[in-house]
Chain A
Amino acid sequence: MPVKSFDMKAPVRDGLGVGIAVGVSGVAFGAAAVTAGLDVLQACALSLFAFTGASQFALIGVVAGGGNLVAGTAGALLLGGRNTLYGLRLAGLLGVRGARRGLAAQGVIDETTAVALAQPSPEAARTAFTATFVSLYLCWNLTTLIGAAGTELVADPAALGLDVVGPATFLALLWPRLKESGQVRLIAVLGAVTAVATASFLPPGVPVLLAASAVLVVTLRPRSDRATEK
């Protein structure tokens, strides 16, 4: 039906918009990875196979600081643990089995989850997931290679403002959630304060994970406090 194809335009547009916009920030990762001491092949391997920006940045952050590699890997994996939660939420929507599940799993990240869950129907969610995954994967890997191989050209990613792309991405993902309820805003504030307050004495990566406890602190309050949430 024509109506159906029209309905599918929005999820594809959402997916491509986010996928391409976020995907090109792979150039910042590639440049930062080589600056941190990884070679081009290692930077590309992380983007191809780990394919989850925050974990990738967490690992190279520890490498750059001359930190312990086991701690660096652990920090990257702790951060990657949120993708497990995303997977739990997406499993029912995507309904994939076997080899397709193995392929789809690689696409379970912040951006694909955010775009898929923002869609009005399961069918639109699946389309949005695929559009975001494919465009982001291609852009992220291509620009990782460009950034890593051309580090001489982008010697200082900060001069181009590329270091702001990461937090701005997180902000754009968080923004619509803040409108949900006061409880959500409280969790965001507590999470941010917890992470900054502990950043000075915990290994990089851990403060962000610890911030997840804000959810427990807020949701385990007495039920009467939750009366206004939807």
Chain B
Amino acid sequence: MTLWPAVIATCLGCYLLKYAGLAAPQRILDHPEVQRFANLVPVALLAALIAVQTFTHGQALHLDVPRLAGLGAAVLALVLRAPFLVVLAVAAAVAAGLRLIGTGG
């Protein structure tokens, strides 16, 4: 079974979705409710992505202690106003460190 049709459809579709936003008539944004929705949707999506990638594995609820600790470290770094790269590095380092010493799994 070749994966190419799925790969090509995803590539083409993702590009067209981006292009559609730039090319759509700006009148759509004149509507305050549309503007509000467009402004707030990323908040819901980002929170959902964080939650799904933190608390689930496939379709099962799953708590990965090192990953959770890594994200906790990222929160701490954000509170301390660390730069973006430092936030990511701290998160990865804490998760990797805990796995190295064999905490959780």
Contacts and interface: CB of A to CB of B under 8 A. Distances in A.
Given A50-B11, A63-B3, A211-B44, A20 B85 contact: yes
Contacts of A84: 17-18, 20-21, 24
Given A46-B7, A172-B87, A188-B43, A88 B24 contact: yes
A89 B38 CA distance: 8
Secondary structure at the B interface, as helix, strand, loop or mixed, is helix
B92 A42 contact: no
Interface in B67-100: 67, 70-71, 74-75, 78, 83-85, 87-88, 91-97, 99-100
A161 to B, nearest CB: 3
Contacts of A119: none
Contacts, number: 288
Interface residues of B, number: 71
Interface residues of A, number: 101
Contacts of B54: 167
Interface string B3-38: 111111111111101111111101011000100111
A68 B13 CA distance: 17
B45 interface: yes
Interface in A150-207: 158-175, 177, 184, 187-196, 199-201, 204, 207
A50 B94 contact: no
A186 to B, nearest CB: 10
Contacts of A55: 10, 14
A168 B88 contact: yes
B45 A211 contact: yes
A77 B10 contact: yes
A17 B17 CA distance: 26
Nearest to A219: B36
Interface in A32-86: 37-38, 42, 45-46, 48-52, 54-56, 59, 61, 63, 65, 69-70, 72-73, 76-77, 79-86
A116 interface: no
B56 A91 contact: no
Interface of B: 3-15, 17-24, 26, 28-29, 33, 36-56, 58-61, 66-67, 70-71, 74-75, 78, 83-85, 87-88, 91-97, 99-100
6 contacts: A21-B84, A25-B88, A45-B7, A159-B96, A196-B56, A199-B52
